[in-house]
Structure 1
Amino acid sequence: MRNIKIAVLLSLVFVTVFALGTTSHKAGKSAVPFKVIELFTSEGCSSCPAADEVVKKISQEFQGKDVFILAYHVDYWDKLGWKDPFSSSAYSAIQYRYGEQFNLSSIYTPQLVINGSVQFVGSDERRLRNELGKQISTAKLPNLTIDEVILDKKIAKVVFSVTNANQNDEIRISLIQKSATSIVIKGENKGRILSHVQVVRDQQSTTVGNLVKSVSLVLPKEFDPNKFELIGFIQEQGTGKIIGATRKNF
């Protein structure tokens, strides 16, 4: 009888240890080591080229890794002498939304936002590297996949799928020009040749719960499949935190 009790006890211990080990393994799998870097910049801002250079350096160093860079050119500098050819009021609206999220008294350029969770001056390379060194972990593992891209004249239809995300979480998919150069002839950067990386040329958003799992992006006249890519991410409703990201080449 004593041997039976010992056997049962050992069995319970084994089951418990196995369960803990399994749970631990799953917890490890749920770690999501990615970083989404959103830069708000403008060719009309004299402080912005320094931030563009920092982001360019990071882009080169982390190429092929789970670091997703999006450079939004805002339009509120356009009225001060130079119209940024990559600017859009839609990108300014995204920055204003972050301003509300972070309770900022005003918006500014250059600005960096990391994973929708922290913001700081875009030229602060030390701070950026510090943020890149941090690990993030989440109990859930949202997954966004770009399944298909259909090119039709001036439109790219992007078909995607998403799992383990809440119905009201936002899906944002962007058309990214990997590099660009401008000769600025007016404004604060007059006479400068400016280079950019990961320029957002169009972005569309929807919610996880939307039955239509596709968005259509407008292709610029200089579109070249080899010089563009797609970046998509999931943004948590309420907190604004980015909880999943993906990319796809054409």
Structure 2
Amino acid sequence: MLKRLCLIFAFSSMLISSLACAGDWQAKTTDKHLVVIELFTAEGCGLCPAAERWVKQLPQKGLTDNDVVILNFHVDYLDQKKGWVDKFASPVFTDRQKQLTRLNLFQTVYTPEFFISGEVLHDWRAHGLDAINFVSEFKPEANINLEAKQDKNSLSVHSRVSVEGDENKQYSQLYLALTENNVISEVRGGDNAGATFNHQHLVRKWLGPFKLDANGKADMTTEVALEKSWKLADMSLVAIVQNMENGYVLQGLALPLKDR
């Protein structure tokens, strides 16, 4: 009997350990419009730390994760110009900046550059808060439901999306991202040589576009590989729905992947 109880206890311990290692998260949007902030920076850019600090200080100005969704993309086109290779940069992120620039009918990209729910913001110091508060007053035009489950070194993401309005149904697409907070990086070159950054909302993966059907809906599962260096407890799964005709982001959602 004692031996049998020991076996049951051992099996139960293994089961509890297995469940503790598996992540299972979900979130959905409400009738509140979350403003999507896309910031394009580079570690070699001398003006970029100020922009990252401005974003980091938004909660002190009354704008929290309940109000905004933040994506901090690092671009790669300054690596050679500044003499510092940004290990967080990707040509995929540069392509996203160029895409937003074209949607805003511009041709030049630069750092730091902000887009507020798809619209370029030239003077973020003077008008950033006003722009965020202005966009937040609009009714959201998309509903997003996210479910994520960790399976060893991958994340299984189930996304359900629906949009309102004929034009949105025709032109809208879904994008997914993985972001990470508290990413420490020592910079030894470029304009910021000698600085140590603590990056927040750092984009690790950018996926899409995923098309919606003729009824403006999507119901899909996506597998995302997780790298060993990422700290899952500091990460969030982000979804945004954007009208690719006018560039307007209809709604965003961030799902923190924290232990429960």
Letter in 2 for 1:208: L
CA distance, structure 1, for counterparts of residue 101 and residue 162 of structure 2: 29
Structure 1, 220-229 or 194-203: larger mean CA deviation = 220-229
DSSP 3-state at the match of 2:190: coil
DSSP 3-state at the match of 1:113: strand
Pairing of 1:1-250 with structure 2 (within 5 A): 32-59=32-59, 61-80=62-81, 81-121=83-123, 124-134=124-134, 135-138=136-139, 141-146=141-146, 148-165=147-164, 166=169, 168-205=171-208, 206-209=210-213, 213-250=220-257
Check 1:248–1:233 CA distance in 2 against 1; reply closer, same or farther (3 A cut).
same
Check 1:97–1:64 CA distance in 2 against 1; reply closer, same or farther (3 A cut).
closer
Is contact 2:162-2:218 (8 Å) kept? no
Superposition deviation, residue 119 in structure 1: 2.6
Superposition deviation, residue 211 in structure 1: 6.4
Superposition deviation, residue 207 in structure 1: 1.4
Q: Flag the structure with more relative contact order, 1 or 2, with Cα contacts below 8 A and sequence separation at least 6.
A: 2
Superposition deviation, residue 197 in structure 1: 0.9
CA distance, structure 2, for counterparts of residue 111 and residue 211 of structure 1: 30
Is contact 1:169-1:235 (8 Å) kept? yes
Q: What corresponds to 1:13 in structure 2?
A: none
Check 1:240–1:142 CA distance in 2 against 1; reply closer, same or farther (3 A cut).
same
DSSP 3-state at the match of 2:46: coil
Check 1:211–1:34 CA distance in 2 against 1; reply closer, same or farther (3 A cut).
closer
Q: State the Cα RMSD in Å.
A: 2.1
Is contact 1:176-1:229 (8 Å) kept? yes
Letter in 2 for 1:57: Q
Unaligned runs of 5+ in 2: 1-29
Q: Normalised by the size of structure 1, how large is the TM-score? A: 0.79
CA distance, structure 2, for counterparts of residue 182 and residue 133 of structure 1: 32
CA distance, structure 2, for counterparts of residue 178 and residue 226 of structure 1: 9
Superposition deviation, residue 132 in structure 1: 1.8
CA distance, structure 2, for counterparts of residue 58 and residue 211 of structure 1: 32
Unaligned runs of 5+ in 1: 1-29
Q: What corresponds to 2:8 in structure 1?
A: none
CA distance, structure 1, for counterparts of residue 176 and residue 39 of structure 2: 16
Please give the per-residue CA displacement for 1:74-109, whole angstroms capped at 9, x wherever unaligned: 011112311112111000001011121122231100
Is contact 1:56-1:196 (8 Å) kept? no
Letter in 2 for 1:150: K
Bigger Rg over Cα: 1
Is contact 1:204-1:215 (8 Å) kept? no
Superposition deviation, residue 183 in structure 1: 0.6
CA distance, structure 1, for counterparts of residue 163 and residue 47 of structure 2: 40
CA distance, structure 2, for counterparts of residue 102 and residue 244 of structure 1: 18
